[in-house]
Amino acid sequence: MNASVQAQANGAAGKSVINAKGLSKTFGGGAVVALNDANFEIRPGSFVSLVGPSGCGKSTLLRLIAGLIDRTNGELAVHGRDVTGPRTDVGMMFQKATLLEWRTAVENVLLPTEMAGTVTKADRKNAADLLRMVGLKDFLFAFPSQLSGGMQQRVALARLLQTGADVLLLDEPFGALDEFTRERLNVELMRIVGEVKATTLFVTHNIAEAIFLADQVFVMTPRPGQIASIVDVPFERPRPLSIQTSPEFNTLVAQVRDILGEDH
Amino acid sequence: MAAQDTMTEGLSARSGGLSLRQRRTLLHALIFFTLIGLWEAGARLGLLDPLFYPRPTSILNSFYLIYIKNGNVWFNLYATMSLVIAGWIGGSILGVGLGALVGFNAVVRRFLKPYVIVLEATPRIAVAPLLIAALGFGASSKIAIIVLVCFFAPFINTLSGVVNVNEDKLELFRSLRATKMQVLRKLVLPDAIPVIMAGERLALTAALSGALVAEFIQRDQGMGALILVYTRNLNMASSFACIFTLTILGFLIFKGMEWVDHHIAYWKNEAGMKRIGDRRRRQFGAQVGE
Amino acid sequence: MSDFTSTTDTRFDSRLFRIVPHLILFALILVIWEAAVRLGFITSIIIPRPTAIMGAIAELYFVKGTIYHHFFITLTEAVVGFLIGASVAVSLAVCSALSDPFKRYVSPYAIVLNVTPGIALTPIIIAWFGYGMGSKIALAAVLCFFPIFVNTLTGLLQRDEDREELFRSVGASNAQIFRKLRVPAALPLLFAGMKIGLTTALIGAVVAEFSQATEGVGVLMSRFSFQLDMASSLATLLSMTLIGLILFYSMEFLDDRIVFWRRETRRAAASRAKARAWNARMGQ
């Protein structure tokens, strides 16, 4: 809530939620260039996919925005404020659900609230509502080991939403799931981020998935990791799965594949 | 193997109504009583010297003597168990505390490593005579021996539990801006509990062995002293009765620790998850609109 | 060539450099300890001075050399006991793995043996096998039996269905599957059990020596202790540590040689740990 007020204030001033200029990250004292000279602006409420092969710096970019690692060069601001570390208006979800096995689903969702302060009845109600929103109304008091992989990721998504952040970073969140579960979760993700009006960055190595979900696709290439091109996706969100068979969609896929080159 | 299977199948055809489980129990009993019978017969026929290898029936008689007629086992059992519990609690506090301290401090860990390796290779029970000489006869030196013998497993397990925290979860906590204290309380400790509990199990078993060795050396009271005295007097039947008492005790300790483990590390078993899940539902069900 | 020497030099330097702080700390502890005893903060009857311990070590190990006879007695007892206990344990584990009925009707007795504190048998075993080395070997064998048995059996019982199917598809017999698939797969756990078994075998030998014996480091230990010669008894304790280290590292060596395919995994685990530490530093 706090964050969305901030977003409006900044939305009036700038027009973008995330600003990057000449953003770079090197490891091992410059030996490995994980991300080279990234420049972009991301509009509030938009959905951006980062797609590319491994080593293209997509996870590095996400972790930079999350404040989990420090940049080597350049500028990076979220809501007009310089990124110096993890913050409350940015939330992150990982490839692994990383749920705490000793907590029920509701208690796992409440973890971000506990970190920030004490848990109230309203927080518990909110956590339960989020779990219902992600389709787990019958599993509020189930433990992670009693849930399937897809359900665990749903809990992780609810936990991400519980942070109240309006910038959501998702690092291949459904990458470890089977194709059918992943498609279903993608559709739901699109609906949910639309409902909460969050700005979303989504990392994937699947071109069709990247285009299906996003307003903009950052196409990234390795050695050195960089944003090779930004492709705009003209379709309205939310979209039906069937859009993937349309000629326009396939033209976009071909365009991205072309940028990525032969090795993809 | 195949021959035996057809044999048991043939048996089942004849015995009709018995289930597989009942048949197996029967066979277990059959084997057990055959062994006992052979032992008894061997001793009675003079194949086994009864002075060293007591007959099963005399062991049973000794059970009657030490538990009921003389009743002397109770006091010694109490003496040993109170030592074991005291030493185990002391060793656990020392081990878990030291393990956590070392686990959280990379510098301490680095400097302590050679000493831990040395300590691990030393048979720690060997210090028993030294401690008795230093602290004198009596309970204090016995407890010191038990503490020394049983602190190591909780120490090592706590250490590895604390050090091997899941990296992904640590990153999650970092992204949620958790304080050091929050990471410790909400991640590291719960994550390490199953490993620490495994260490505690080992520690309790070691504590019993430590108590017995201490009693062997001091020869005053307790199960160790009792076994020693009975054996010296060549009252082997009573000696064996004491050993079997310790078997039962060991079994109870094993089962008891298993029970405690199931309750503390509740998320490792279905029953525990159901219990705690139901409890949370009672606590918060109304608040979350269920 | 010169390049080669220079790299070895730096490696040697860095290793030396890493040992130095440890040595300084060790020396510091010794100095404080020595001072504390000399200044009377600690009674020297309970905890002797480091210099006194060093004197005792010099006496036992170099001047008189008394320790060696006892050292080899105990080492022999532990090793022979271990060999007997391990052979019985491995044979029973193999039989149990091959035959379900055997496992079913033997395992209750193994469990009974496991929950009985083996050390409680010390007086009885001494009565049975006498005051000499026999009783020490027997106790060592009894104590090391269970960890080896249970680890070997667990190793042999873990079945990899996919690989067994692969073996069957190329026409392997049950015996071949057992020899070429299940046995190698069980080796890592077997060695883990052997390492525990060696430690418990040494404990068995020493405890039996405490109870009744004329030779062995356990005898020396209790003799010095009851003479209140703490320095000599700590010097004796050192020899037990040495036996423990020798036994452990020889098993580690065999493990590395025989289970060579896990060397890579171990190395990979080590490099992963290093990468993690590196990332953590980069992250902050």
In this prediction, residue A8 has a pLDDT band, given cuts at 50, 70 and 90, of very low
The mean per-residue pLDDT over the stretch B1-12 comes to: 43
Question: Would you call B228 and C120 a contact, using CB atoms and an 8 Å cutoff?
Answer: no
The mean per-residue pLDDT over the stretch C99-104 comes to: 88
Q: How far apart are CA C162 and CA C156, in angstroms?
A: 16
Note the helical H segments in chain B: 2-15, 20-44, 56-64, 72-104, 106-121, 128-135, 139-150, 152-163, 167-175, 180-183, 189-218, 223-232, 236-264, 270-284
Domain assignment of residue C272, yes or no? no
| Chain B residues near residue A140 by CB distance under 8 angstroms | 281, 288, 290
Question: Would you call B277 and A104 a contact, using CB atoms and an 8 Å cutoff?
Answer: yes
Domains (ranges, CATH) in chain B?
A: 19-48 (no CATH), 66-270 (1.10.3720.10)
- Residues 208-267 of chain C with CB under 8 A from chain B are 210-211, 217-218, 221-222, 225-226, 228, 230, 233-234, 237, 240-241, 244-245, 248
Question: Would you call B175 and A91 a contact, using CB atoms and an 8 Å cutoff?
Answer: yes
- Residues 64-103 of chain C with CB under 8 A from chain B are 98-101
| Chain A residues near residue C283 by CB distance under 8 angstroms | 68-70
The mean per-residue pLDDT over the stretch C161-189 comes to: 86
Neighbours of chain C (3+ CB pairs under 8 A): A, B
Domain assignment of residue C67, yes or no? yes
Q: Tell me the backbone φ, ψ of residue B160, rounded to 5 degrees.
A: -70, -35
Give yes or no: residues C186 and C260 share one domain.
yes
User: What pLDDT digit, counting tens, does each position of C215-263 carry?
Assistant: 999 999 999 998 999 999 999 999 999 999 999 999 988 888 887 776 6
Decide if C123 touches B, using CB distance below 8 A: yes
Q: Which residue of B has its CA nearest to C112?
A: B247
Q: How far apart are CA C239 and CA C69, in angstroms?
A: 11
Q: Tell me the backbone φ, ψ of residue A239, rounded to 5 degrees.
A: -120, 155
Per-residue pLDDT at B17: 67
- Interface size A-B, in CB pairs within 8 Å, comes to 80
Give yes or no: residues C146 and C209 share one domain.
yes
Question: Would you call A106 and B280 a contact, using CB atoms and an 8 Å cutoff?
Answer: yes
Give yes or no: residues C116 and C15 share one domain.
no
How close, in Å, is residue B177 to chain A by CA atoms? 6
In this prediction, residue A6 has a pLDDT band, given cuts at 50, 70 and 90, of very low
| Chain B residues near residue A101 by CB distance under 8 angstroms | 267
CATH of the domain at A256: 3.40.50.300
Per-residue pLDDT at B118: 87
CATH of the domain at C143: 1.10.3720.10
Give yes or no: residues C135 and C14 share one domain.
no
Closest partner residue to C241 (CB to CB) among B5, B111, B121 is B121
Indicate if the pLDDT at residue C4 is higher than 80. Answer: no
Q: State how beta strands A18-27 and A73-78 pair.
A: antiparallel
Q: Which residue of B has its CA nearest to C126?
A: B231
B111 in Cβ contact with C22 (< 8 Å): yes
Indicate if the pLDDT at residue A167 is higher than 70. Answer: yes
- Retrieve residue C132's tokens: 């000499």
How close, in Å, is residue B10 to chain C by CA atoms? 16
CA distances, C247 to each of B251, C76, C204 (Å) = 31, 11, 14
Question: Would you call B247 and C244 a contact, using CB atoms and an 8 Å cutoff?
Answer: no
Give yes or no: residues C22 and C59 share one domain.
no
How close, in Å, is residue A141 to chain B by CA atoms? 5
B250 in Cβ contact with A87 (< 8 Å): no
How close, in Å, is residue C1 to chain B by CA atoms? 35
Residue C248 structural domain: 50-267
Domain assignment of residue A53, yes or no? yes
CA distances, C81 to each of B6, B242, C75, C194, C241 (Å) = 40, 25, 10, 12, 18
Closest partner residue to B247 (CB to CB) among C105, C112, C127 is C112
Closest partner residue to B122 (CB to CB) among C25, C127, C237 is C237
ipTM: 0.86
Domain assignment of residue A69, yes or no? yes
Domain assignment of residue A153, yes or no? no
Peptide bond into C101 cis (omega under 30): no
Closest partner residue to C101 (CB to CB) among B1, B123, B253 is B1
- Interface size B-C, in CB pairs within 8 Å, comes to 127
Closest partner residue to A96 (CB to CB) among B168, B193, B276 is B168
Q: Which residues of B78-89 are buried (b: 16+ CB within 10 A; e: fewer)?
A: ebbbebbebbbb
Question: Would you call A27 and C283 a contact, using CB atoms and an 8 Å cutoff?
Answer: no
Q: How far apart are CA B252 and CA B207, in angstroms?
A: 14
In this prediction, residue C281 has a pLDDT band, given cuts at 50, 70 and 90, of very low
Decide if B7 touches A, using CB distance below 8 A: no
| Chain C residues near residue B167 by CB distance under 8 angstroms | 276
In this prediction, residue B51 has a pLDDT band, given cuts at 50, 70 and 90, of confident
**Residue B273: CA atoms inside 13 Å, Cβ hemisphere, count?**
18
Sheet holding A47-51, edge to edge: A90-93, A167-171, A199-204, A47-51, A216-221, A226-232
Give yes or no: residues C54 and C7 share one domain.
no
Indicate if the pLDDT at residue C29 is higher than 80. Answer: yes
DSSP states of C53-100: HHHHHIIIIIIS-THHHHHHHHHHHHHHHHHHHHHHHHHHHHHHHH-H
Give yes or no: residues C57 and C131 share one domain.
yes
Decide if B190 touches A, using CB distance below 8 A: yes
Decide if C283 touches A, using CB distance below 8 A: yes
Domain assignment of residue A152, yes or no? no
Per-residue pLDDT at B207: 95
Domain assignment of residue A217, yes or no? yes
Instruction: Please count the structural domains in chain A.
Output: 1
Is C170 or A124 the better-scoring residue by pLDDT? A124
- Dihedral sign for Cα C27, C29, C32, C36, please: negative
Q: How far apart are CA C57 and CA A18, in angstroms?
A: 70
Domain assignment of residue C255, yes or no? yes
Mean pLDDT of the residues in chain C: 85
The model's pTM: 0.84
H/E element holding C217? Answer: helix C217-226
| Chain A residues near residue B289 by CB distance under 8 angstroms | 125, 128-129
Give yes or no: residues C197 and C77 share one domain.
yes
How close, in Å, is residue B83 to chain C by CA atoms? 15
Per-residue pLDDT at B5: 45
Instruction: Please count the structural domains in chain C.
Output: 2
Residue A40 structural domain: 2-89+164-260
